[in-house]
Structure 1
Amino acid sequence: MILEHIGLSQINGSLVVLDDVPGVSYDEVVELRLDNGTTRTGRVVMVEENRCVIQVFEGSSGLSLVNTRTVFTGHPMMMDLSPELQGRILDGLGRPIDGQGDIYPVARRDVNGAPINPVSRVYPRNYIHTGISSIDCLTTLIRGQKLPIFSGSGMRHNELAVQIVQQASVSDGSDFAIVFAAMGVKNDVAEYFRDSFVSTGAMDRVVMLLNLANDPIIERIITPRAALTVAEYLAFDLGKNVLVILTDMTSYCEALREFSSSKGEIPARKGFPGYLYSDLASLYERAGIIKGSTGSVTQIPILTMPGDDITHPIPDLTGYITEGQIVLDRAMDATGIYPPVAVLPSLSRLMKDGIGAGYTRDDHVTLANQLFACYAKVQDAKALASVIGEEELSESDKLLMQFGREFEHRFIGQGNTNRTMEETLDLGWELLAGLPRAALDRCDDQPLDTYYEPARKRRQQRQQALLNAQPAPQAK
């Protein structure tokens, strides 16, 4: 029997309080019916014996302490799921906003999901191709991995997210889908995402959830959970390899802080709730591969570090939970290098098991290690040059400086191009060919003979061709 509770005990912002309501569950969905015939939706966010606190999605403006009728549905927030979701644009709660009609569900699931049994997890292997050399070669994204992007306010992480959506693919030709969730974005940014996906044809494989900056914060807290519920359905029910991109997790965490403060909870670091770690883990740990399923859920959460501070609670806790990070560099971004990936602080902890022979190419591991090592030496040469000047450097250090410039502008700063894995690896060897063989101390003879020597010959031939093409000096 469904009971209707008339009246409210308190109204405080978007929170309303009811007394004498036994049997209410945490996270239960609530319907609030007003005298004008409209209905608002809420969620139980606190339960104390027979007293409960409800967060109203649409806000409490116009609610009456006397006449509001409240109905408890007896279930948590549910998500309508169907194969027709691909190509659709939804709001932060998973409701269609693209004008193409309602979703006719074949399943309905709790947006909070269910923990994956660790025994049922399969170790992530094989990679997802992004077409971006600094990611594919040096911080390879593995299926089932969670690999965040640490950016800063005003940097080009939105462009990078769009490029990944447009270019991402799997090498074995299996079904591939993308779930893209934007939280707390402005209208022009949301329009940029929508137009970019539609104009390039990428929208056909994308499920897009949009939570705008002027939408309720409680909706922002639901958005990543709704996105992951869609991803789990596509992966584990339909057998697809699903890439989930969540941007911006900082907006999500700030909404969580505001929500926690409104409930009167004791704050922890920087005012965030003490359960921020476990809340983020409840999202990030929904990535993975389940035994017996052909699908996988891979996550790329994008967050903007407040004040570019990587020790801030949001990137700090995210780094504890996830398997690496891709860090964007503001100095590179200022010089026009795109994507401005800072190679040295970036890493992918799972890449060693998803690259090499049988996955990418047999020289991938060796090449990545050597590029890292040489680029680290470039930083030492830069530091020395800032003291004594580049003209006073040794010949080996001058070659390193030249390598560093080429590496940043050709390998990292590739622009909006889509490189194959073969092109990326070949370019890496071509850049290393500008250094003497003795300087490559992370390589055995076999990859040097197979890849370095041919690349060195091609480089010398190209340089000679450029010299021959230059006009001869005019005689006086």
Structure 2
Amino acid sequence: MRPRIYVEGAATRLEGPLLFLRRTLDAGLNEAVEIESEQGPPRLGRVAALDEDFITLEVLESTSGLGLADVRVRFHGRPLHFEVGPGILGRVFDGVGRVIDGGPPLAAVQSLRIDGLPISPMARATPRDFIETGVTAVDLMNSLVRGQKLPLFSGGGLPHDRIAVEIACNARLRRAREQDFAIVFAGIGVPYESAEYFRRSLEASGALERTALFLNLASDSSTQRLLTPRFALTAAEYLAFEEGKHVLAILTDMTNYCEALREVSSSLGEIPGRMGFPGYMYSSLAALYERAGCIRGRPGTLTQLSILTMPADDIGHPVPDLTGYITEGQIVLDRALDRRGIYPPIQVLPSLSRLMKDGTGGEYTHPDHPALASQLYAAYARAVQTRVLAGVVGEEGITELDKSYLEFGTRFEQDLLDQQGARTLEQSMALGWQVLRALPVAELSRLSDAQIARYIAGAAS
């Protein structure tokens, strides 16, 4: 790392969060800087672009009152780092890793680059084991596996914030000690009311003691929004790969991150891509999502649950579309279920956890869990098709078998999907067997004779 260098009188213009300087020294891309002025305290920034004549800085705080004539920039000679230590759990930080909970500064033992270090594919281990979230539609039907990256696709006005908080409060790794499991929760570009809701809910439940909470407000700089997930994931990597904990990182809302990426790209004058987003948005998202995983020889793991809102509920929008290419499935919220008062309104048919088979079954959950999930999925798909048919010909025009599927679909949504409070996997499975009893035994083709005798026919008698 080279010595810190001061530059004065080089500022030429200020456009939104971007400060342009005449190039008078050698600097590196993403190098950290401090921007000092007579108005206000020093502002944090980093080098966003450079050429032979100019250096473009991203100012990570408000540029209000920043005058070009008296700007003084200090170049740190290295990229942005986050000072981390064992006391990071139970603390609340802003979007760039500064303590905002009124407590003492964090006692740091390491300084880590916020961009993380690439994980060699040869060093990655296959994600295994089951993380219980307390949400039946996830635990039973689309299980979250330790080391997985699983996004939640939502829409404006749907209760994704409530779901995120409840998962943070109730999630646990069934086969590990409680003190070996930790949460990193990042609110990205959220309103003040949402940030306070996150903080109060985690404090009231006691979950804040095992959580590192990062809050980036909608009123903060858009450039700061680009760094919040990086600071949060740096904390998660430290806890997982240095402290040996199993970490669940919850990031909400990644759509705000992408909107900030589009805003900064436009300010830089870059050529826009699809719907105005920069062409490198895919690689930018991948650089964040791929920080999840398991590393051979390291006891800890990092699991990601990223939440994003789909503009106009469009699952083909660039943000969910590109996210789906990178991650291992998706959990989809449904507005129709929400309007019917079903909570959480998770639509299981378009939802998918590609690694569910690697983290469920006898060794991890229950020997009958995979078969039950498969049968429920198949039966509900048939029930949805039957609803369409009944909507055309009327219920009087369908068979008795079809009517049993209609009954099953109603019970599936009202008894299984709809829940108040967290459920254990055992409670979710018991409800699953119960709703299957609405169907004739001959229709349960995905269950073995022993499972039917034990859970369906035996229980009914």
Query: What interval of TM-score do these two structures reach, taking the shorter chain for normalisation?
Result: over 0.9
Contact 1:22 1:49 (C-alpha < 8 Å) held by counterparts:
no
- Structure 2 regions of 5+ residues with no counterpart? none
Partner residue of 1:120 out of 110, 123, 135: 123
| Cα-to-partner distance string for 1:288-330 (whole Å, 9 max, x where unaligned) | 0111111110000000100000000000000000000000000
Give the alignment partner of residue 362 of structure 1, picking from 358, 364, 367: 367
CA distance in 2 between counterparts of 1:2 and 1:319 reads 42
Counterpart residue identity of residue 57, structure 2:
I
Return the match for 2:452 from 441, 448, 453. 448
Q: What is the rounded CA distance, in whole Å, between the counterparts of 2:161 and 2:453 in structure 1?
A: 41
Query: Any conservation in 1 of the 2:131–2:174 contact (CA below 8 Å)?
Result: yes
Would you identify which runs of 4 or more consecutive aligned residues in structure 1 move more than 6 Å? none
Equivalent of residue 109 in structure 2, options 95, 101, 106? 106
1:50, distance to aligned residue in structure 2 (A): 5.0
User: Is 1:420 aligned with 2:389?
Assistant: no
Indicate whether 1:6 and 2:8 are aligned. Answer: yes
CA distance in 1, matches of 2:324, 2:141: 18
- Are 1:186 and 2:196 counterparts? no
Query: For 1:172 and 1:114, how far apart are their aligned partners in 2?
Result: 29
Contact map agreement 1:239 1:295 (CA 8 A) in 2: yes
**Residues in 2 aligned to 1:173 and 1:456: alpha-carbon distance in whole angstroms:** 36
The question of 1:172 aligning with 2:149 is answered: no
Q: Is the 8 A contact 2:5 2:76 kept in 1?
A: no
C-alpha distance in 1 between matches for 2:50 and 2:20: 10
Aligned length: 456
Residue number among 383, 386, 390 corresponding to 2:391 in the alignment: 386
Change beyond 3 A, Cα 1:54–1:437: same
Aligned-partner residue type, residue 200 of structure 2: D
> TM-score, normalising length from structure 2?
0.97
Q: Deviations over 1:228-285 (max 9, x none)?
A: 0000000011111000000011111101110100000011111100000000000000
Aligned partner of 2:160 in structure 1 is: 157
Contact 2:39 2:66 in 1 (8 A): no
Contact 2:23 2:53 in 1 (8 A): yes
Contact 2:17/2:223 (8 A) holds in 1: no
Which segment drifts farther, 326-335 or 77-86?
A: 77-86
Partner SS state of residue 58, structure 2? strand
Distance 2:200 2:215 in 1: 13
Matched, 1:56 2:59: yes
Residue equivalent to 2:347: 342
Rg larger for: 1
Which segment drifts farther, 73-82 or 56-65? Answer: 56-65
- 1:167 is matched by which residue type in structure 2? N
CA contact (8 A) 1:434 1:456 kept: no
Q: How does 1:254-333 map to 2 (within 5 A)?
A: 254-333=259-338
Match of 1:401 in 2: 406
Is the CA contact 1:429–1:455 (under 8 Å) kept in the aligned structure 2? Answer: no
Distance 2:216 2:239 in 1: 21
**What is the CA distance between 1:450 and its match in structure 2?**
2.8
1-side partners of 2:63 and 2:191: how far apart?
23
Per-residue displacement from partner, 1:129-174 (whole Å, max 9, x unpaired)? Answer: 0111110011000000000000000001111111101110001133
Distance 2:314 2:226 in 1: 23
Query: Which amino acid letter does the alignment assign opposite residue 14 of structure 2?
Result: I
Name the counterpart of 1:208: 213
Structure 2 residue aligned with 1:253: 258
- Inter-partner Cα distance in structure 2 for 1:60 and 1:144: 39
Aligned equivalents of 1:38 and 1:184: distance in 2? Answer: 23
Structure 1 residue runs without a partner (length 5+) = 458-476
Query: Which has the larger displacement, 379-388 or 322-331?
Result: 379-388
